[in-house]
Structure 1
């Protein structure tokens, strides 16, 4: 495929900069071994490089303490895990924990970090569709289906790992989004709060699916067809390093034009063009991945239960259960295997179209079916990837880049062999969608994954599904 070859050529051309004054280092090399004691005691912990981040945020991730005797191999395992935990805060581009011997069995710990650029004003320029392939193929590369605007992220307010996000968006979907989260509101750093307000309106909206494709509708006057406002308050509890509990109380109001109900009378189901409900959601999350953006080792488990309609259930009375379970196996220095399972269950046989789930909606994709949506009330998707680390480099461009936060350009490339499979159960048995609904589906193929600066992930894949349909797909994030 010429397009695939051109993308590969462009990607590998990036490596040519290393022939100049930019130095590339292979980060897979292991340090030389030295003689070590059987056990050690930590006297002091020093942190350097945290110009903005408060020391307590870093110390919260440490599983060791001072004045305690540790068996050496156990201690080194703790240090490696703590290093990954600090990196997964996504506050630093580099993290290194080094034990410095001050006696036969005594060490000082030096934690060296390199902070990211925390205030990131950025231009919004993104596709409104489910994925790039949907826009490229099904929507004919229609540039009117692009969102644009301004987003400002402050990812470390006050140096306390607080998040503040504001975005104003125009284009296909006009939207306003404000989010503030404080991970810890107590001295023991276990309890946190977050609040989010969003508003959006659209002139073109999906109103149903036919033949496993979304059907979009715009009325003759091109007026606004849907307005949505939502507010949510989330409480978080982090008792241990890898386990999180979230409790969210929220409110949602959606208005649609009567024209939408004329096209699909079951869009809201209750005969009104306003849908209002409060919801309560509980989620448990166990996250022990070595790198959150593109894991090669560890596991992720998340279980979520949502009750739509509390106290007032006239418009909606529904329960949704969600499961995400991913496992990452390191097979060797170059090979790793990733397996992931997602599941969704609604208790009622039919939902408002704004709550419809299925394969084709994030994160429930089967590779090879990116162009399709298979909607229903229950689904499972199981994904598998065997990956080979092709490159692991780091470019020092400090002499060209005055900002220290961007002075190092990491670049990793993985070849992947993929197999996904799953099923959607549609209790309504819509004839137009019978080709893929209530059927066993699978897809397979190969790809190239690129992991770059600030955890950016690019995926280039060619996949074939069990309908015999094959295509090239491009994505901006890890599949799971």
Structure 2
């Protein structure tokens, strides 16, 4: 027997808050007396002026004409709302059930679209992070990239993405990328392609005392020219699981002066490195927010093969792992914990392929100004976070463009602890201080999450050798 629902049939009796709020089953059930089962008659979508309906429906487990247990239905509403938001096509997403009978509902998906064509001026630091530029490079403004970037994040309303980049400054580059998430009616298969070309007059030629050593020759010649071309195929068989396969070609040429600074910058003392490469990755992504998650999990497994044919200048195999978990705790607390690891099979790589702590995604707080290089890397990052503030401001009176009319702002206080190790088979004397031993760092931070999922982190961290510094970072740590 269905419990009687208070209020008028057809009136909105329950709603899910926008994509920036945490919604639970208890929140919904506190609003009304609920039926044991509900049947979904129709799914309506409004606000998608550019985005095709099928792109949104692809993210939804809920289907028309299906009967669900009430608790299952509520959980699916919450999950579907998060999945639609994680398309990164919308500023806000609401998924609401409307009762038209005691046990029948219509589902309304209401979205507000982002501004999809985003021309922008490039003015970014060329270094690994802000702290590297501020401390190691003495705030040198010659180490700045500038130029023009054009992003179209929803070509044809099908979530296709196009990026064009023309860049000058520290790294002169041209980059074009295109991705089409679905090329078939069942929306399972996708493709993407990328081509880039860049040159540098100053490059990192090696590391010493666990810091990058940069070199510019007296004539300020171009020291490195690099080109990459790749084609990617993706398969999405279920909502949270993605498979990706990539093939491509890489070519780099360096000035002979680079080999004076580092004779093994490329294998066998060559000034050219060219090879075909292939990679495969599996990604399980069930985060509530891709830019700054507070709930869910992420698992990425990958294998990269550099050098496919006998004429290639390299024969390397790399395995990678990233496993993150985000756990809501009591009140406004949540825990973010993540393991990242990688390993090469051979003992010596071209310097352009060197990995270690200090290169994303592997870092330890307190060691932001260091690079700890080797063939095997394992890092475990942890943050206990408290939500200080979470609001979305209506600024439509000051901003006439609808896509910018809502200004979200979140603030989190974090307590952090990271630890890990880098194994260097070569045991390079100039870097033995930090390689092949246990490292850790800890501290506190303030994280800001705002417009179009921009993340800014202010942190003070201390490492295990007692060095403390204030750091600014522009991405979520995990």
1:99 equivalent in structure 2: 97
Q: Distance in 2 between matches of 1:125 and 1:374?
A: 28
List gaps (5 residues or longer) in structure 2.
Answer: 1-19
Structure 2 CA distance, aligned partners of 1:420 and 1:354? 26
Q: After TM superposition, give the deviation of residue 69 of structure 1 in Å.
A: 1.0
Match of 2:469 among 453, 456, 471: 471
Q: Give the Å deviation of 1:28.
A: 6.5
Runs of 4+ in 1 over 2 A off after TM superposition: 26-32
Question: Please, which of 270, 295, 316 is the counterpart of residue 293 of structure 2?
Answer: 295
Structure 2 partner of 1:341: 339
The answer for the alignment partner of 1:10 in structure 2 is none
Higher mean alpha-carbon deviation, 214-223 vs 63-72, is at 63-72
The corresponding residue for 2:64 is 66
Q: 1:58 to 1:116 in 2, by over 3 A?
A: same
2:431 is aligned to: 433
- Cα deviation, residue 352, structure 1: 0.3
Aligned-partner Cα distance in 2 for 1:294–1:109:
28
Deviates more, 1:223-232 or 1:261-270: 261-270
TM-score, normalised via structure 2 length:
0.94
Contact 1:194–1:235, Cα closer than 8 Å, also in 2: yes
The aligned residue for residue 135 of structure 1 is: 133
Deviation of 1:394 after TM superposition, in Å, equals 1.4
Tell me the CA shift for residue 473 of structure 1. Answer: 0.3
How far did residue 312 of structure 1 move? Answer: 3.0
Matched, 1:190 2:188: yes
Rounded to whole Å, the distance in 2 between the matches of 1:247 and 1:347 is 20
- 1:262 corresponds in structure 2 to 260
**1:91/1:456 Cα in 2 relative to 1: closer, same or farther (>3 Å)?**
same
| Partner residue in 2 for 1:279 | 277
Match of 2:242 in 1: 244
Structure 2 residue aligned with 1:109: 107
Q: Classify the secondary structure of the residue corresponding to 1:445.
A: strand
Q: CA offset at residue 313 of structure 1?
A: 4.9
Distance in 1, Cα, partners of 2:310 & 2:473: 40
Q: Which string of whole-angstrom CA distances, capped at 9 and with x for unpartnered residues, describes residues 344-392 of structure 1?
A: 1000000000000010111111000001000000010000000000001
1:150 corresponds in structure 2 to 148
Q: 1:375 aligns with which of 360, 366, 373?
A: 373
Q: Give the match for residue 353 of structure 2.
A: 355
Could you tell me which residue of structure 2 aligns to residue 424 of structure 1? 422
SS in 2 for 1:276: strand
Contact 1:270 1:315 in 2 (8 A): no
Distance 1:468 1:110 in 2: 55
Given that 1:95 and 1:111 are in contact with CA atoms closer than 8 Å, whether structure 2 keeps it comes out as: yes
Distance, in Å, in 2 between the alignment partners of 1:295 and 1:326 is 10
Q: Does 1:208 align with 2:206?
A: yes
Structure 1: which 5+ residue stretches go unaligned? 1-25
CA deviations on 1:122-181 (whole Å, 9 max, x unpaired) are 000000000000000000000000000000000000000000000000000000000000
Root-mean-square deviation (CA, aligned residues, Å) is 1.1
- Does the CA-based 8 Å contact 1:366-1:442 persist in structure 2? yes
Q: CA deviation at 1:86?
A: 0.2
1:179 is aligned to: 177
**Shift of residue 33, structure 1, vs aligned partner:** 1.3
**Whole-Å Cα distance in 2 between the matches of residues 244 and 207 of structure 1?**
36
The 8 Å contact of residues 341 and 383 in structure 1, kept in 2 or not, is answered as yes
In 2: Cα distance, 1:302 partner to 1:290 partner: 16
